[in-house]
Structure 1
C-alpha cells in the first residue's frame, strides 16, 4: 500500500494542534484559588497574590502604619486561628516587621497627631508579642497605649477623633480605639480602665443617637463650631453606613474583654441590640445596605459593600456570642448572600473582587466635607478597598461561609 507522506504530516500536525488547544483550554480553566475554599480564604489569597507584602495593601509603595492595614491584619489573624495555615500569620508578622524597627519605634507613625485611627493599626501586636516575646512589639504596644493616655478629650471625657478635629467624636473612632484600649487594659493593667472604655460608648449614645430612627449620626462636635454640625445638637446631618458599621464592630469586639460580671457589660450589649434592631429596618431586599443608610429610595444612593460586610460580621458574631437573638445569624447570612450575589466578581483564576466599596469619607478637612447626602454618594468607590475586604473576611469566618 502506497502511503501519502503529505497526508501523514497533515494528520500529525492537526493532532499536535488539537493537543495544544486542549492544554491551553485546560490551563485557562485552571483555578489558582479553588472555589471549594471558603470565601475568607479566597479573599485572603487574592490579597496576598496582589500584595505579596502586607504593607502593600491599599496600593502602598512603602511601609505605612495605617488603620486599614490594622483592620486586615485582624482578619488575617482570625483566619489563621481558624485554619492554622502558617502563611496567614506570617503575612501579619511581615506587616509588623516592615513598620516597626528593632527598638520598637514606628517610623511612619506620628504620636503628636493624636489620631485615634492609628491605635487599631497595632491590635495584631498582642498575639505577636504573646507568641514571640519580642520586646519590640511590646514597646510599640506601650507607645499606642500612651497615646490613649494623652489623647485630648471632650469636657465629658470622650476621645477626640484627631488633634486636627478638636472637640469631635466620630463613630469610626470607637472601633479605632476601644477594642485596643480594652484589650491592653485587661492584658497588662488588670482591667482597671474598663469603665472608661464603656464611657466612650455612653457618650456616643448620649450625643449621636437619633431617637426617631435608632441610628447614630456619623459625627458630633461638642463646640458646634464645624459648619457640618447642627447648631442645637452638634451632630453631623446624615447616617453613613460604614460609620455605623465601625460602631457595630466596636461593640461586638470590645465585649470580648468585658468579664461576664462587669457592671457595664449589659449596657454595651443593650447598645448593640438597639442599633441592630434599627439597622434591620433599613436592610434592602438584596440583603445589603445603602451608602446613606436611611435614604435608599433617593437618586444617587447605592448599595455599599463595606458597611454591609461590617453589619454581617457584627450580627453574626453577636448571635454566635449570645449578645444578639439567634435570628441575627439569618439576617447576617442574607447580607452575605447579597455581597456574594450582587457585589462580588470572581476571575477565571479564582481571584475575588468586592465592588461598590466607598473608598473614603469623613467630615471637615480641606477640601471641606459637609456630611451632606450629595457628599457621601459622590465620594469615589474602589474595588477591594481594604475597608471592605477586612470585614468581608471577618464576616465569612463568623458565618463559616
Structure 2
C-alpha cells in the first residue's frame, strides 16, 4: 500500500467514525436555533457522507493489506449506530446499506442483517405512504413537495437491489428499478442526455441545472451499483446497461484534458470538482469490473487514468481538495471548494484501484 493510500485510508476511517460529532461552534448554533423554535438536524451516525466512505472501504476490502483494521473500523461504525438504536432519518441513510449488507455476508452477524431490514422497512414505508403517482420516493417526505432528487438513485437503489437479490425480496428489486426508470423518463435533458437535479411528476417540471457534476455521479453510481447485483436475465438488465453507457458517453464528452470534470459538466471554464470527478470515475470503474460497459478498458482506460491522476494531485495529508461544498437544494450550489467526505469516499475507491 503506497504512502498516499495509507494517508487516505487513515483519514477515511477517522472521518467515518467522527463525522457525526458536532464542534463547540455547531453546538452553540444548535442551542440558538432551538431557542428560536427552529429545526435542528439530529446527529446522524450513518449519513450519506460517511456512507460513501463506508462503501469504499467495504467494497475494496480484499485489496487492503490491513484487512483487520478496516473491518474493525466498519464494525465500530455500524455498531455505534446499532447500540444507540438510532432511527433512519432520511433516504440518505440508505447509502451505507450496501456496506452493511457486505458486512453481514462477511461476518454472519445477525445484528447487521437486522440493520439492513431496518433500512428496507424505512424505504418501504415511504413507498407506501409518500410515493408520487409513478411510485417515485420523494427525497424529503416530511416537506410534502413530491420533489424527486437524482441523489436518491445513488443513495438507495444499489442497496434495494442487493437487499432484494440477497434475501429473495422482489419488492425491493421492483422498487429499485422503478426509481431508476422514472428518473430516466422524467428527470433527463433530452438533448444532452444528462440529468437535471430532479423533478416533480405532478407538475412535469424539472428542477436544478442540467449536468450538475454530482448529479451525474449519483445517477451513474446508482445504475452501476444496481446492475452489479441485478441478475443478467432480468427483464430490465439490457436496457439499463445500454442507458448507463449512453450517460457515461454523454458525461465524458465534457471531461477536461487533465481528467477532471467541472462542477457543472458543461461549464468548461468553471471550477473543477474532485467530487464529481471521483463519483463519475468510481461508477465507471464498477461498470468496467462488472461488464456493464462494452469495450471497457479499451474505450475508457485513458479517461479513467487521467481522472485518477487529477484526484491524486488534489490529495494532501489524506484529504482530497478541490471538492465543491454541500448542495443546499435545487439550484443552490455554493461555489465553495475544499476537502469533504464526498470527494474522499469515491476518490479513495478510484485511487486504490488505479495506483
Residue 302 of structure 1 corresponds to which residue in structure 2? 271
CA deviation after TM superposition for structure 1 residue 193, in Å: 4.2
TM-score (norm 2): 0.85
Which residue of 2 is the match for residue 391 of structure 1? Answer: 346
More helix by share: 2
Structure 1 distance, partners of 2:102, 2:226, is 16
1:60 CA drift (Å): 4.8
Give 1:281-360 correspondences, 5 Å limit: 281-297=253-269, 301-324=270-293, 325-326=295-296, 327-341=299-313, 343-345=314-316, 351-360=317-326
Structure 2 unmatched ranges of 5 or more: 24-42
Deviations 1:261-310 (A, max 9, x none): 1111111111211111101111111110111221223xxx2000001011
Deviation, 1:123, is 2.8
SS at match of 1:263: coil
User: Is the alpha carbon distance of 1:234 and 1:272 closer, same or farther for their aligned partners in structure 2, counting shifts above 3 Å?
Assistant: same
Partner of 2:18: 56
Contact 1:71/1:387 (<8 A) preserved: yes
Question: What TM-score results when the alignment is normalised by the length of structure 1?
Answer: 0.76
Q: Mapping of 1:190-205 within 5 angstroms?
A: 190-191=169-170, 193-205=172-184
Alignment partner for residue 133 of structure 2, among 139, 150, 155?
155
Deviation at residue 319 of structure 1 after TM alignment: 2.0
RMSD (CA atoms): 2.3
Deviation digits for residues 62-108 of structure 1 (CA, Å, limit 9, x no counterpart): 7723121121111111232222521011111110111112xxx632x
Change over 3 Å in CA distance of 1:47–1:176 after alignment to 2: closer
Q: Structure 1 unaligned runs (5+)?
A: 1-35, 225-231, 346-350, 364-369
Report the CA distance between 1:234 and its aligned residue. Answer: 3.1
3-state SS of paired residue (1:71):
helix
How far the C-alpha of 1:312 sits from its partner, in A, is 1.4
Aligned to 1:367: none
Cα separation, 1, equivalents of 2:97 and 2:286: 22
Larger of the two Rg values belongs to structure: 1
1:142 matched to 2:117: yes
Kindly tell me the number of residue pairs found equivalent between the two proteins: 328
Alignment partner, residue 28 of structure 2? none
- 8 Å Cα contact 2:163-2:169 kept in structure 1: no
Match status 1:188 vs 2:167: yes
1:120 is matched with: 95
Q: Are the structure 2 counterparts of residues 177 and 60 from structure 1 closer, same or farther at C-alpha, using a change threshold of 3 Å?
A: same
The partner residue of 1:76 within 54, 57, 63 is: 57
The answer (yes or no) to whether the contact 2:189–2:210 under 8 Å persists in 1 is no
Which residue is 2:26 aligned to? Answer: none
Contact 1:241 1:290 in 2 (8 A): yes
Q: 1:382–1:60: structure 2 CA closer, same or farther, 3 Å change rule? A: farther
Distance 2:104 2:291 in 1: 30
Structure 2 CA distance for aligned equivalents of residues 294 and 164 of structure 1: 33
The answer (yes or no) to whether the contact 2:161–2:226 under 8 Å persists in 1 is: yes
**1:265 and 1:235 mapped to 2: Cα distance?**
28
Q: Give the whole-Å Cα distance in 1 for the aligned partners of 2:103 and 2:62.
A: 13
2:31 alignment partner in structure 1? none
Distance of aligned partners of 1:89 and 1:60 in 2 relative to their CA distance in 1, 3 Å threshold: farther
**TM-superposed deviation, 1:139:** 2.1
Q: CA deviation at 1:41?
A: 4.1
